[in-house]
Amino acid sequence: MAGSPSRVIPGFSLTLGYSLFYLSALVLIPLAALVLKTTEMSFAQFWAVTTDPIVLASYQLTFTASFLAALINGVFGLIVAWALVRYQFPGGRFFDALIDFPFALPTAVAGLTYASLYLKDGWIGGLGPRLVTGVNGLAGLLGLGAPLEPTALDWLTFPFTGGTTGIVLVLVFVGLPFVVRTVQPVLIEWDPEYETAARSLGAGRFTIFRRVIFPELFPAWISGFALAFARGIGEYGSVIFIASNIPGKSQIAPLQIVTKLDDFQYAAAAAIGVVLLSISLLILLAINGVEQYARRHERAA
Amino acid sequence: MAGAITARAPISIGSKRAVATESVLARRVLITITVVFLTIFVLVPLINVFNQAFSKGFEGYWSVFFPPQPPDDATLTFSQKRRLAEGAAQAARTWSSIGLTVAVAAVVLPLNIIFGLAAAWATTKFNFRGRALLTALIDLPFSVSPVVAGLVFVLLLGRNGILGPWATQLVWPDPFSLHWVGFENGVWPLAFGRTHTGVIFTPLAIVLATIFVTFPFVARSLTPLMENQGTDEELAALSLGASGWRTFFKITLPNVKWALLYGVILCLARAFGEFGAVSVVSGHIDVNDTMPLRIEKLWNEYNNQAAFTVASVLAFVAVITLVAKSVVEWKAARDAERTN
């Protein structure tokens, strides 16, 4: 364990002092300014700003979209981590490296490319009409006429760049690494003996996963889920490219802050900022709680 | 919370053991889901960036940075002249955004390296009350929305901010305008060519906001490794009479070089790509555009191909980042194996 009480090693006051100075000047004092700014308002004003119908609608959109995205990541992230750790397949290492890509790619670029992909003339957005043309062309070659209406597959065209679906899709991208990267180390450390033991006792494969493997993965999985969720709540850059940003309908909560700032309503912006900050800190606390519970649980077992 | 996971010290996830006992069918289904999911959500969007950037061919791509120059003797109509001038102005703005992005990163990175080393040294080589709190505070920016990160500086240093009266009057020299003026005015031969007034809506605010969102990366990637290595080697060097600085440069720094580089890579990637925090403090002024802000402006001007061209540069940087990260992880794992 590091940090023996001996002060033989020099530089304690220098490094600690510098760290505290840097941290205070760049993080703590600015954050305090945020809280101080809200004290300019009475509680009634604070309440009025933070529960304004347009603001409430933005919270709802932010939470719904982030939750759905975290859920999709929870399911697919688990499958991806599982397949990457337990199976070897061509391109496995390449796909493993791809997982970190959402961390490396600027969010503005992610929003830009997602917005254009799901437009009507984008690669994925234009899939429906192209499939119809393809199927009808094939049927025509076989002399079957055109079995599909031109609009039959329009539900496959994703004109959702204005709606919630587009926001969810880009938040799935942004939060993709969290679940995979938290679950992966647990799966790597997993001892297959447990599975063998469970099977010898007559458990089926699904029972083994549900009763033996998943409980072991659960703490990592839930903290990955919460990290992805928290990331989605704060996300701004990628979402504003893909959302239509209509007040009360498709404005996310961080955009409310920007809107208020553009209107020079500084105290109102600060109030929404405080709400968002408190929510992120609560999620962080919850993650720590889960991790500590898991650690204690592990020790007790 | 970007990087809350990746910013930990390099761990290798390469030791894959084939322990699968599932049926072949289940295995194939899961692999297919993985490949399809990652292709749709990561690979296709990435390829799309380059596809759109080159949608007007290589020439269209090139002209975003180097607009066509007419020959000197060409006779041009008014509208042709206007289009050429517009293209040149757009390219100049794009170049200015690239310059600002690189300049901000160049200022932020050394500051974060010094802080990261100091914070890691303080929290891993010593035991003191509040150590856990300090470590938690260092992680704080990961859990703050980038927009809030920008907002706090506007509220602190903006016109109505708490330090506003002082900050809006602050005159500061542009370090990149430092140039040689000779010894005519005294013994100091250098002078600043440009000064800025105020903090918010100037490049200084962009630097502050970028530091806020990037400073945990270096500290976080160093801390676990330095904690594992303990203080034995440093104590040995000190007892042999080495000075504190010498111990740091000869013992500690070589031991953590890969973790440091790892943190630097992550910090740089985020500094190049930060959008929300920078957008709030930039005031949407053209000279304050970094590359991500430039992308937004081009997109809002319906200049999609140019937006994707600038985006492709950042996407290329992201690919390089991933490759560099993998190399560093591999080197760090090899070093760890060698010492064991």
Measure in Å the smallest separation between the Cα of A143 and chain B Cα atoms: 33
Of residues A126 and A168, more confidence is placed in A168
For position B15, what pLDDT does the model report?
A: 43
Query: Residue A221: which of A179, A190, A188 has the closest Cα?
Result: A179
Q: Tell me, what's the pLDDT at A203?
A: 79
CA triple A197-A185-A76, angle to 5 deg:
90
Nearest neighbour of B48 by CB, restricted to A4, A123, A169: A123
Both structure tokens of B152: 């706090």
Work out the percent of chain A whose per-residue pLDDT is above 70.
92
pLDDT band at B11 (very low <50, low <70, confident <90, very high): very low
Nearest CA in chain A to B146: A234
A75 to chain B, minimum CA–CA distance in Å?
11
* Predicted pLDDT of residue A1: 42
Confidence of residue A63 (pLDDT cuts 50, 70, 90): very high
Whether B168 has a pLDDT exceeding 90, the answer reads: no
How is chain A split into domains, by residue range?
43-118+159-300, 129-158
With 0-12 CB in 10 A as exposed, 13-18 as middle and 19+ as buried, what is B74?
exposed
Q: If pLDDT is split at 50, 70 and 90, which confidence band does B26 have? A: confident
When pLDDT is cut at 50, 70 and 90, the band that residue B7 belongs to is: very low
Residue % of chain A over a pLDDT of 90: 41
Out of A2, A29, A227, name the one closest to residue B230 (CB).
A2
pLDDT of residue A298: 66
**The pLDDT of residue A157:** 61
Check pLDDT > 70 for residue A133.
yes
* Cβ–Cβ gap B121/A3 under 8 Å: no
Report the pLDDT value the prediction gives residue B108, as an integer from 0 to 100.
Answer: 95
Q: What is the DSSP string of B98-138?
A: HHHHHHHHHHHHHHHHHHHHHHHHHHHH---TTHHHHHHHH
With an 8 Å Cβ cutoff, are A27 and B137 in contact? yes
Per residue in A13-61, pLDDT tens? 899 999 999 999 999 999 999 999 888 888 999 999 888 999 999 999 9
Taking residues B134-143, what's their average pLDDT?
86
pLDDT of residue B73: 72
Nearest to A16 among B122, B153, B272 (CB): B122
Of B194, B201, B191, B188, nearest to B174 (Cα)? B194
pLDDT at A156: 60
| Confidence label for B336 from pLDDT (cuts 50, 70 and 90) | confident
The reply to whether residue B162 touches residue A269, judged by beta carbons under 8 angstroms, is: no
pTM higher than 0.95, yes or no? no
What pLDDT, on a 0 to 100 scale, did the predictor assign at position B147? 94
Number of neighbouring beta carbons within 10 Å of residue A40: 13
Q: What's the pLDDT score for residue A292?
A: 81
Q: Among A58-67, A171-180, B227-236, which is the least confidently predicted range?
A: B227-236
A254/B148 CB distance under 8 A = yes
Pick the residue from chain A with its C-alpha nearest to B295.
A108
Q: Is the pLDDT of residue A4 over 60?
A: no
Does residue B195 sit in helix, strand or coil?
Answer: strand
pLDDT of residue A168: 92
Q: Which of A20, A38, A101 to mutate to test the interface with B (most CBs of B within 10 A)?
A: A101
Given pLDDT bands bounded at 50, 70 and 90, which one contains residue B20? low
Answer yes or no: is pLDDT of A228 > 90: yes
Which pLDDT does position B197 carry in this prediction?
86
Nearest chain B Cα distance for residue A121, angstroms: 12
In terms of average pLDDT, the best of B166-175, B216-225, B310-319 is B310-319
pLDDT at A210: 82
pLDDT at A77 (0 to 100): 95
Higher model confidence: residue B73 or residue B137? Answer: B137
In the numeric block, the tokens 């990160």 are attached to B149
Report the gap between the CA of A280 and the closest CA in chain B (Å).
6
Question: Given an 8 Å threshold on Cβ–Cβ distance, is A80 in contact with B38?
Answer: yes
Q: What is the 3-state secondary structure (H, E, C) of chain A?
A: CCCCCCCCCCCHHHHHHHHHHHHHHHHHHHHHHHHHHHCCCCHHHHHHHHCCHHHHHHHHHHHHHHHHHHHHHHHHHHHHHHHHHHCCCCCHHHHHHHCCHHHHCCHHHHHHHHHHHCCCCCCCCCHHHHHHHHHHHHHHHCCCCCCCCCCCCHHHCCCHHHCHHHHHHHHHHHHHHHHHHHHHHHHHHCCCHHHHHHHHCCCCHHHHHHHHHHHHHHHHHHHHHHHHHHHHHHCCHHHHHHCCCCCCCCCCHHHHHHHHHHCCCHHHHHHHHHHHHHHHHHHHHHHHHHHHHHHHHHHHC
Question: Nearest-CA distance from B288 to chain A in Å?
Answer: 16
| Chain segment B226-246, per-residue pLDDT in tens | 888 888 888 899 989 888 899
Chain B residues touching residue A14 (CB < 8 angstroms): 118
Exposed/middle/buried for A77, CB within 10 Å: 0-12, 13-18, 19+? buried
**A17-26, B20-29, B101-110, B271-280, range with the lowest pLDDT:** B20-29
* Topology adopted by domain A43-118+159-300: MetI-like fold (1.10.3720)
Q: Do A113 and B46 touch (CB under 8 A)?
A: yes
Over chain A, what is the mean pLDDT? 85
Residue-wise pLDDT for B179-188, tens only, equals 888 887 778 8
pLDDT for the residue B5: 47
A15-24, A138-147, B103-112: range with lowest mean pLDDT: A138-147
Domains of chain B, with CATH numbers? 79-161+199-339 (1.10.3720.10)
Q: How confident is the model at residue B340 (pLDDT cuts 50, 70, 90)?
A: low
pLDDT of the residue at B19: 52
| Bridge partners for B171 per DSSP | B197
